[in-house]
Structure 1
Amino acid sequence: MDSRQLRYFAAIYDRRSLTGAAESERVAVSALSYHLANLEAELGSALFERKPRGLHPTAAGERLNTHARAILRAMDAAARDLSSIRDTVSGEVTVGLAYSAVKAIGVDLARRVLAEYPDLTLILSESLSGTTLLHLKSADVDLALVYNPPPTATLRATPLLEETMVLVGRRDMIGDTDAPITVDELLTLPIILLRQGVSARALLEDVQLLRKLEARARLQMNSVQAIAGSLVAGLGCAIGTKLFMREQIESGALHWRPIIDPVLTRTLFLCEIADRPPTIALETTRALILGLIAQAVASGDWEARLL
């Protein structure tokens, strides 16, 4: 027995005919007949007597009507109650965002919250993935978008998308060509690494390759702006995404080349503390984030593959 069967039963009870009930529910008569037969079979009782002038409820039908009305009223009340809660979402939610996530959805997330949830206070915290995880574990943020978080029982991590890494730098540094560059060739270049706090895996999951990059790195920085300035100044090149240095690439100040042998990827996760109880404000913010990420990928603003 489910809510649809009860709703169809109530319509038949009110109209005393399958045709009238079908019109009010906007379904085919055959569909109503099918659901009524299944309901009667499940309950083991006939619910209506078929008479020339229509359907008349049996004693079992009258009893079921009493229960069905109460159940349907309770379901409607629950729906109204939850709708009222959604319409008055309030509270405070802090979201920790990786740099790429800020660029892709940060402004849109703030705009949606202001327009649709005026009683919700949104706090956006931009930081490197490793630092964001520390903030999440210390309860300084409620939700975190981070790359390649280490597996741990205290975190609930949901993979959202996968990005392909590229080499970014000036043309005179990485070559005036769109041809792919191998990892072995890349390791001969002066690399600038974005330090990720406690989580170097935020750049790559390949630990051995990370160690090689760290050993060859000319500079290591924990500032995206410092890396951008250093790349434009020709101090080195960096592994990142096209979104990472989008403005500089579009202006022509920097160039990018695909990386092969192997292709390098990273995965963005939505992380939460596993045992933290959910709130309406948190669930609302999470849904907004997931929707905006899907839109950004679908529109091409975020070059990635949804997972």
Structure 2
Amino acid sequence: MESRQLRYFTAIFEHGSLSAASANLNVATSALSHHLSNLEQQLGTQLFVRRPRGLAATAAGARLYDHARAIVRAIDTAEQDVRSESREISGEVSLGMAHSGFRAIGLPLIETMLRQYPKLKLSLSEGLSSATLSHLLASQIDLAVVYNPPTDRSLQLQPILEETMVCVGRKELIGDDDVPITFAELLELPMILLRQGLSARALMDDLNLLKKLETRALLNMDSVQAIESSLRAGLGCTIGTRLVMRDDLESGVLQARPIVNPKLTRTLFLCETADRQASFALEAVRTLILKLIREAVEGGRWPATLLD
């Protein structure tokens, strides 16, 4: 297979038709059709099903797309690195961040990138740790800042900080602010948690305690915004951090109680795929993220403990 074939194939896959891909690539439709036929013949399998309104990928086509997209991105990164004779940071980096990470350093990250690396294009997405990690494994992003990722040989994991979890809710539901609450007492409260699975892993490091909470939970959601709205309405309480609920805690709408016996924590990681060669742009973004997180923790804006 040639890189040009893979580039043409990914364009056809993403646009769903030869004509749309032709317009995007500025390549004749007949040429794209020729390359696609050669690729299918070379692989000995059909990659698309021809339909009146375009092309639909077969199972083989969908699998090839995952590989082709990663290969094309790697080629583009290599070209940008080699051509940057002055070593001025340029190119494109895609970053996915958990909600807490974005809330703490999202704006400083954007401002610094625009000021220090004007030729570097940063694609930034915010979401649940599970979805962000899935995007990393699918080569849709280059870096992920997430909580409690599972052990995976294909991932390179760097622990950054540890946060202490608190019980958050309205005062009439959870009691006085800053008065410790035991884990056993938590189990008796109407708990609203992130849905089970990788998303729920982001709540705490101890999965056995998490399972106990999940069996007692009043509601399970995969929307941080929905949980926050439910807390404000007094529908239940949750386990979270002071950073995530900072605005509501400072305004007095919600209260936070430390959790004891045992104390609950979660760990933030910087993740990237283990087999990916880092570019100058990727290294610059990685270094900047770690610097901003350290400054946020040391400056008191992110209540957490740094892990060296």
What TM-score do you get using the length of structure 2 for normalisation?
A: 0.71
Deviation at residue 197 of structure 1 after TM alignment: 5.2
- Equivalent residue number for residue 235 of structure 2: 235
- Equivalent residue number for residue 254 of structure 1: 254
Mapped partners of 1:112, 1:125: distance in 2: 17
- Equivalent residue number for residue 173 of structure 1: 173
- Equivalent residue number for residue 135 of structure 1: 135
1:126 maps to 2:126: yes
The DSSP-based 3-state class of the residue aligned with 1:84 is: coil
Would the aligned equivalents of 1:202 and 1:266 in 2 still touch at CA under 8 Å?
Answer: yes
- Equivalent residue number for residue 201 of structure 1: 201
Mapped partners of 2:182, 2:85: distance in 1: 54
Pair 1:246–1:177, CA change in 2 (3 A): closer
- Equivalent residue number for residue 226 of structure 2: 226
Mapped partners of 1:250, 1:136: distance in 2: 34
Would the aligned equivalents of 1:161 and 1:305 in 2 still touch at CA under 8 Å?
Answer: yes
Letter in 2 for 1:206: D
Deviations 1:154-210 (CA, angstroms, capped at 9, x unpaired): 100000000000000000010024210000001100000023753432112222211
1:84 maps to 2:81: no
Deviation at residue 253 of structure 1 after TM alignment: 0.4
Deviation at residue 224 of structure 1 after TM alignment: 1.2
Deviations 1:92-122 (CA, angstroms, capped at 9, x unpaired): 1111100000000001100000011111001
Moved over 6 A (4+): none
Mapped partners of 1:289, 1:218: distance in 2: 36
Letter in 2 for 1:125: S
Deviations 1:260-300 (CA, angstroms, capped at 9, x unpaired): 00000000000000010110000000010000000000100
What TM-score do you get using the length of structure 1 for normalisation?
A: 0.71
Would the aligned equivalents of 1:167 and 1:257 in 2 still touch at CA under 8 Å?
Answer: yes
Mapped partners of 1:196, 1:124: distance in 2: 26
Letter in 2 for 1:84: S
Letter in 2 for 1:228: E
Q: Which has the larger radius of gyration?
A: 1
Deviations 1:184-241 (CA, angstroms, capped at 9, x unpaired): 0011000000237534321122222111111111111111111111001000000010
Mapped partners of 2:173, 2:199: distance in 1: 28
Letter in 2 for 1:103: R
Pair 1:253–1:199, CA change in 2 (3 A): closer
Deviation at residue 129 of structure 1 after TM alignment: 0.7
Would the aligned equivalents of 1:196 and 1:202 in 2 still touch at CA under 8 Å?
Answer: no
Would the aligned equivalents of 2:196 and 2:214 in 1 still touch at CA under 8 Å?
Answer: no
Mapped partners of 1:110, 1:195: distance in 2: 30
Letter in 2 for 1:192: I
Would the aligned equivalents of 1:136 and 1:143 in 2 still touch at CA under 8 Å?
Answer: yes
Aligned length: 225
Mapped partners of 1:221, 1:230: distance in 2: 11
Letter in 1 for 2:259: I
Deviation at residue 143 of structure 1 after TM alignment: 0.4
Mapped partners of 1:198, 1:293: distance in 2: 23
Residue ranges of structure 2 left out of the alignment (5+ in a row): 1-82
Report the RMSD for the aligned CA atoms in angstroms: 1.6
Deviation at residue 82 of structure 1 after TM alignment: 9.4
1:301 maps to 2:282: no
Mapped partners of 2:147, 2:219: distance in 1: 21
Mapped partners of 1:256, 1:186: distance in 2: 13
- Equivalent residue number for residue 62 of structure 2: none
Mapped partners of 2:301, 2:244: distance in 1: 12
